[in-house]
Structure 1
Amino acid sequence: MTRAPRTTDDVQRTGRRFLAVSAAGALNTANARKPFGRRGRVGTFTFFPGWLTSELPLHVIGWQALATAGFVKRGALRSKEGWLGLGLSAASWYALREVWKTSMQAGEVFDHALEEGLGDELDEGESPMAPHPEVELTRRRLVQGPLHNWRKGYVSGPSLSYGDAGRRNQLDIWKRPDLPLDAGAPVLLQVHGGGWVIGNKDQQAMPLMAHLADRGWVCVSINYRLSPRATWPDHIVDVKRAIAWVKANIADHGGDPDFVCITGGSAGGHLSSLAALSANEPEFQPGFEEADTSVRAAVPFYGVYDWTNRDGTGLASMEGMLARVVLKSKLADDRDRWEQASTMSWVGPDAPPFFVVHGTNDGLVPVEQARSFVAMLRAESKQPVAYAELPGAQHAFEVFDSPRTIYSSGAVHRFLEAVRVREGHTADTADTAEATR
């Protein structure tokens, strides 16, 4: 059957549709390069498409090219609008190439951050176990992106309970199946983000935990109570309770209770950094005041470090949400409690080593707040403070595999191993490896 010739109206309609699709793609690319409304409410809505595009630019080029081929096949280039659409698509692809090149700078940024923060102590540590070759940087990982299943191979048992809040007080243990139960492996506790209202232990930092677990670490990913059902300080109380559980029980799973570090992103960045700075604080440990909740190091990603916006680096829109949903009180009426919840209020000389990571394009938590927090730490802390500010990175950039994710996992590992050496907690690598054969 012969297809009827396309009319002039059909061609023009196809060209206009192609132009509209190309314009939308170009706007999305522009938002990925420089987020629209980064310091206002608009940034909340432009975050999601900008996040995906900035971490998966080659994937976006691929689907845009497929869409372009489809429109060309339907005769879009027989109209002026179609040629304009093709020009916009070509410009978008060039810009996406630049987005990719920017993401590949992350390795150098992390190297500089670690050298500045650790100096001669960098790279003195050694992993307890050699990694499996399949978890190294590969094209397959980058193609799979968010589709990679990291839990498989590291989380084999059921979720464990660390408190009495049901599912919200559960945790998962990540480790290699061949890790000896008496390995005394270093431990990293992961606190998920989600604005203190959503999220769970199965969603975030999986590439990082897999990276460390494959090198002989034990990682613990926790749930905690969420607002609006939970009211501050329930969230940090749960994090402290989880730390106490880890110190009391992790030896049964091959971990070293005397070397526990903490990490988290966004709200988890806030909670992990606050937990690190408020070690053994009784007001955050009701009913378990005597438990040791100190940690050896903290690695917060794109965290919220101040709820009071004391230096103007926060988002004004966040105050209303915190007042209505999380603290359930206004800043003006309850300032002491808001200060108690702010990580910046706890900065002092006893802070553990910190490695702070943030992206310049963060549309949910301004990078300026990370800069202020790092400046406070460096002025007060007696321990190393490393800071990596990633050009072009959005909020939650390391949730799935991308160049920044892979580089960040390696950098965190190097930082934590250097801290182990610094504090004399290195294991006998040869004995550990021999025990796994």
Structure 2
Amino acid sequence: MPFSRPLGRPSYYFGLAANELPFAAFFWLLLLPTALAFTEGDIDSVGAWVIVGLAAVTTLGPAVIAHRALGDRARIEHAMAEGLGAGWRAAIDADLAEGLRRRLPLARILFLPILKRRPDVRRVANLAYGDAGRRNLLDLYHHRSRPQDAPVMIHLHGGHYSGGHKNSQSLPLLYRLASQGWVCISANYRLRPGAQHPDHLIDLKKVIAWVREHAHEYGADPTTLFVAGSSAGGHMAGLAALTQIDPAFQPGFENADTSVTGAIYLNGWYGPYFGQGPESSPLAHITADAPPFLIAHGDLDPLVPVADARHFADQLRRTSANPVVYAELRGGNHAFDLYHSFRFEAVVDAIEGFAAWVRTRERTPQP
């Protein structure tokens, strides 16, 4: 674990930002300081020119990182074709295909990568879904025009099950979907050490039950409901998708409908919960009726080895009768979903396309 080393946490976050935002790193760390040095007349010695030369060589690093990130769009497209079929785009209903984005938002990626909010989306904050105080609050995002019969996306944050909070991760995804007429949920949940498995999963089931009961008040049609998560939240989303309507994880609300239409697993953990047996892993709950899954994982993730993601996707494909999309992101770090980056915006487009494909199939009677 990199956080256990001296300066591990700050170096991790610095590396994450540089890896996911190479253009910003180039501008703020190389171009701007060098330009200021020239402007101030400080490049007036051999030593100064040596530093300029080193800065020029250093630009190769961001260039390589950017090249990898730009290539992920094609790699994700290949993963979609592999998981859904070569003609997956043509199979989407016309009304759903019309809203899919055809190109990346370059201006936002290059100039406003950390700005998440959108003027056409309203955030309704701190709605209670349970009795655990602020750990049982959720935020709801919807278009200001409040369209009716909106599909729902629920997202759970990461944080090792011991930290983190709603309104922090995958916000480019939630705001994008809400701007396209979805109702999106970002929820807190109880944390370690006060809570243990399956307390977190029970909280997510409560969120799903809350959506079934209340989301229509915001224009949602909760019969179409996707569950997503990042890191620990991905682990939780995977468990929820694989234990639908299981009374063992719904104490006091056993009869609530906690089924989901599909699952989005981002830079997740796939193994057992801390110190508990294999039954606390999503791997233990894979069955033939698992819902459609989209899994995205970086091959340079320092917290969860990419081999774990490959193994989970392989086991899911072997057993599930539903499609599994596994997108491996070349050069991708853990928590790649924090920014409007080339990599995550390509993932956002894939999630939107995946959801449209699944929704189209839901409309079509299956033999």
Same fold (TM over 0.5): yes
What letter is aligned with 1:220?
Answer: I
For residue 230 of structure 1, report the CA deviation from its aligned partner.
1.8
2:292 alignment counterpart:
353
Long gaps (5+) in structure 2 = none
| Equivalent of 2:358 in 386, 400, 419 | 419
Contact 2:120 2:179 survives alignment (8 Å)? no
Distance 1:231-1:368 versus aligned 2 partners, 3 A rule: same
| 1:171 corresponds to 2:110 | no
| Equivalent of 1:263 in 228, 236, 239 | 228
Distance 1:130-1:378 versus aligned 2 partners, 3 A rule: closer
CA distance in 2, matches of 1:66, 1:156: 35
Contact 2:79 2:326 survives alignment (8 Å)? yes
2:110 alignment counterpart:
142
For residue 353 of structure 1, report the CA deviation from its aligned partner.
0.3
Contact 2:124 2:141 survives alignment (8 Å)? no
CA distance in 2, matches of 1:127, 1:137: 22
CA displacement 1:222-272 (0-9 Å, x = unmatched)? 111111222222111100111111112222221112111111110111111
The DSSP-based 3-state class of the residue aligned with 1:307 is: coil
Distance 1:415-1:40 versus aligned 2 partners, 3 A rule: farther
CA distance in 2, matches of 1:198, 1:38: 17
| 1:96 corresponds to 2:52 | no
| 1:371 corresponds to 2:317 | no
CA distance in 2, matches of 1:84, 1:345: 57
Deviates more, 1:85-94 or 1:387-396: 85-94
After TM superposition, the score normalised by the length of structure 1 is 0.76
CA distance in 1, matches of 2:88, 2:31: 47
1:317 alignment counterpart:
none
| 1:362 corresponds to 2:301 | yes
The DSSP-based 3-state class of the residue aligned with 2:121 is: coil
| 1:339 corresponds to 2:286 | no
For residue 92 of structure 1, report the CA deviation from its aligned partner.
1.1
CA distance in 1, matches of 2:3, 2:297: 15
| Equivalent of 1:57 in 16, 22, 31 | 22
For residue 360 of structure 1, report the CA deviation from its aligned partner.
1.1
What letter is aligned with 1:86?
Answer: V
| 1:254 corresponds to 2:193 | no
CA distance in 1, matches of 2:287, 2:100: 40
Distance 1:113-1:136 versus aligned 2 partners, 3 A rule: closer
CA distance in 2, matches of 1:423, 1:216: 18
Distance 1:280-1:348 versus aligned 2 partners, 3 A rule: same
Contact 1:165 1:225 survives alignment (8 Å)? yes
| Equivalent of 1:112 in 70, 74, 78 | 78
Correspondence 1:297-336 to 2 at 5 A: 297-307=262-272, 322=274, 331=275
CA displacement 1:343-394 (0-9 Å, x = unmatched)? 1111121110001001111111111110010010011110000011011111
Contact 1:270 1:300 survives alignment (8 Å)? yes
1:210 alignment counterpart:
175
Distance 1:307-1:42 versus aligned 2 partners, 3 A rule: farther
For residue 85 of structure 1, report the CA deviation from its aligned partner.
2.5
CA distance in 1, matches of 2:177, 2:159: 23
Contact 1:176 1:216 survives alignment (8 Å)? yes
Query: 1 or 2, which has the higher strand percentage?
Result: 2
Contact 1:126 1:417 survives alignment (8 Å)? no
CA displacement 1:251-298 (0-9 Å, x = unmatched)? 222111211111111011111111101112222111111112111100
For residue 74 of structure 1, report the CA deviation from its aligned partner.
5.8
The DSSP-based 3-state class of the residue aligned with 1:227 is: coil
CA displacement 1:139-164 (0-9 Å, x = unmatched)? 14431111x14265423434211111
| 1:295 corresponds to 2:260 | yes
Distance 1:305-1:365 versus aligned 2 partners, 3 A rule: same
CA displacement 1:10-43 (0-9 Å, x = unmatched)? xxxxxxxxxxxxxxxxxxxxxxxxxxx9899689
Contact 1:129 1:216 survives alignment (8 Å)? no
Deviates more, 1:376-385 or 1:90-99: 90-99
Contact 2:141 2:184 survives alignment (8 Å)? yes
2:344 alignment counterpart:
405
1:224 alignment counterpart:
189
2:245 alignment counterpart:
280
What letter is aligned with 2:209?
Answer: A
The DSSP-based 3-state class of the residue aligned with 2:124 is: coil
For residue 425 of structure 1, report the CA deviation from its aligned partner.
7.5
What letter is aligned with 1:137?
Answer: P
| Equivalent of 1:245 in 205, 210, 216 | 210
Question: Could you say which structure has the larger radius of gyration?
Answer: 1
What letter is aligned with 2:159?
Answer: G
Contact 2:172 2:340 survives alignment (8 Å)? yes
| 1:66 corresponds to 2:5 | no
CA distance in 1, matches of 2:243, 2:93: 27
Contact 2:116 2:172 survives alignment (8 Å)? no
Contact 2:156 2:187 survives alignment (8 Å)? yes
Aligned length: 359
CA displacement 1:92-118 (0-9 Å, x = unmatched)? 112211211211112111111111110
Contact 1:130 1:214 survives alignment (8 Å)? no
For residue 68 of structure 1, report the CA deviation from its aligned partner.
2.7
